Structure 1
Amino acid sequence: MYVVPSCTTCVIAAVNLRVSKKNWHLKRLKLHLLQHKTIPVFDPRKVPVVGTGEHLRAVHPTELKPEALRQRFQNPPLWTPEVLREASFTEREPANAAVLIPLVMRDELMVLLTQRTQNMSTHAGQIAFPGGKSDQADADAIATALRESQEEIGLDATFIEVIGALPNYITGTHFIVSPIIALVKPGFEIQPNPIEVDHVFEVPLSFLMHPRNHMEHEMSWQGQQRRWFSMPYPKQSQDGKTLESKEEDDATHFIWGATAGMLRNLYRFLIA
């Protein structure tokens, strides 16, 4: 999976420029490219791993129960987030956003994730939490996260119990993201928006809260170092068996970037 900008505005401007040869189309294209800069094109799976969390302790299973998490957010410890801001890839104006980190209450807590479609203007094809930009009508970040979850995957708010939030996370594309933590009762129906969501899947919270599954990557771009976490999770069949494939891309859900960064902060919060 390659990370490439797939921006509708840029495509339309480029087509109009080719058809009409009008200078204002060229100006529009240049202006829009300046807003989101040139996002680097790379395969994050191929970037070297420079560290793992093998030396860190995992969150104990008893701390990953619904009531334990409720108590944790009601009485938060003193702690320091590990990742709050990514290296910038753009000169666009910052935009407020919120995501829902849905913890589905099955036999063990499962984190519900989406894979974005390839035609999204930012973070195309990446694994993400349901969420998006704040709307003027949203009362707060919780309202944004709930609205976006309904719009993206059809997750009804009646199944959702918000228990807390993590500190804001600023992405390299200048989104100021509020991560909202919620418990989700089983029985909901998923209806992905085909424009935004390719598919939806779940990962055990215990897997994501074990630092041996946290890989740290590093690369240099335009004179600055960029570091991020990944948490590759083996794809599962409907009967729970691990799928096998000769191609690594087909065998794992590659959770990385902002999504992995927020999960790393959740890990730090739970072990503090």
Structure 2
Amino acid sequence: MEPPIDRTTLEAALHMSGAPSSDFDLNPDFSGAVTGDLRAAGVLIPIMDHPKGPRLVLTKRSSALKHHPGQIAFPGGRVDPTDLDPIDAALRESEEEIGLPRQIVDVIGTLPTHETVTRFQIYPVLGWIKDDFVPIAEPGEVSEIFTVPMNHVLNVDNFNVQSRLWRGQKRSFFTVPYGPYYIWGATARILRGLADRVQL
């Protein structure tokens, strides 16, 4: 069994150089992407302490949503004109979606951006939750809030590559399942990028 990951290890990983990632990493010839300019979005990778090791907070999106219903995601969303930057957007959205007060989040760094086939440029922000936190799901948008051991999502052996048809074309993507939760797509790709830096 691997020793639990700690904040120091994560901070060191963020200082490593790395290139931006993309949904096209596994699909260089994919031509079914949405066209148009990239839209900026900030997502928070919220990490909370736990006696058995830090855990990652994730959401399951409501099945009633128009975009990405039922998918596992980081709290976050597009950068609004009133946001100072993607970090500000990630903290705002996290407070709205899971009731996480920004004042108890230590931003410990950012990862390289990730481009999605739906034309978002995602800015992943690592945040350490430094106080007790009781999640509150935003009605209509978040159906469930759950946690995953960081050791699980930072172990590259837990990742797989799978494929499905999207807009009539085969598209491959990373997955990192955990129990009943099917973590895939951009969420899994961003986590894989972090796992590659940590190398448990």
Q: TM-score range by the shorter chain?
A: 0.7 to 0.9
**In the TM superposition, what is the alpha-carbon distance from 1:218 to its structure 2 partner?**
2.5
* Separation (CA, whole Å) in 2 of partners of 1:212 and 1:268: 11
Match of 1:85 among 23, 27, 39: 23
For the residue of structure 2 that corresponds to 1:167, the secondary structure is coil
The residue that corresponds to 1:185 in the other structure is 130
CA 1:191–1:220 in 2, change beyond 3 Å: closer, same or farther? closer
Match of 1:262 among 170, 190, 193: 190
The residue that corresponds to 1:110 in the other structure is 55
The residue that corresponds to 2:3 in the other structure is 61
* Separation (CA, whole Å) in 2 of partners of 1:149 and 1:77: 26
CA 1:193–1:222 in 2, change beyond 3 Å: closer, same or farther? closer
The residue that corresponds to 1:121 in the other structure is 66
Match of 2:181 among 239, 243, 253: 253
Report if the CA contact (8 A) 1:217-1:227 is conserved.
yes
Written as runs of structure 1 = structure 2, the 5 A alignment for 1:204-243 is 204-219=149-164, 221=166, 224-234=169-179
* Separation (CA, whole Å) in 1 of partners of 2:8 and 2:49: 11
Q: Deviations over 1:24-75 (max 9, x none)?
A: xxxxxxxxxxxxxxxxxxxxxxxxxxxxxxxxxx9x636x2112323443xx
CA 1:222–1:264 in 2, change beyond 3 Å: closer, same or farther? same
* Structure index of larger Rg: 1
* Separation (CA, whole Å) in 2 of partners of 1:202 and 1:92: 35
- Code of the residue aligned with 2:78 in structure 1: it is K
Written as runs of structure 1 = structure 2, the 5 A alignment for 1:113-192 is 113-192=58-137
Match of 1:99 among 15, 39, 43: 43
- Code of the residue aligned with 1:185 in structure 2: it is K
* Separation (CA, whole Å) in 2 of partners of 1:110 and 1:182: 12
**In the TM superposition, what is the alpha-carbon distance from 1:177 to its structure 2 partner?**
0.6
Equivalent pairs counted in the alignment come to 193
Report if the CA contact (8 A) 2:23-2:185 is conserved.
no
Identical pairs, percent: 35
Report if the CA contact (8 A) 2:18-2:112 is conserved.
no
* Separation (CA, whole Å) in 2 of partners of 1:93 and 1:71: 33
- Code of the residue aligned with 2:16 in structure 1: it is P
The residue that corresponds to 1:70 in the other structure is 11
- Code of the residue aligned with 2:151 in structure 1: it is S
**In the TM superposition, what is the alpha-carbon distance from 1:159 to its structure 2 partner?**
1.4
* Separation (CA, whole Å) in 1 of partners of 2:17 and 2:112: 13
CA 1:217–1:175 in 2, change beyond 3 Å: closer, same or farther? same
* Separation (CA, whole Å) in 2 of partners of 1:227 and 1:186: 38
* Separation (CA, whole Å) in 2 of partners of 1:71 and 1:221: 37
* Separation (CA, whole Å) in 2 of partners of 1:122 and 1:91: 16
**Mean Cα displacement is larger for which, 223-232 or 154-163?**
223-232
> Hey, which of these two has a bigger chunk of helix by percent?
1
- Code of the residue aligned with 1:77 in structure 2: it is M
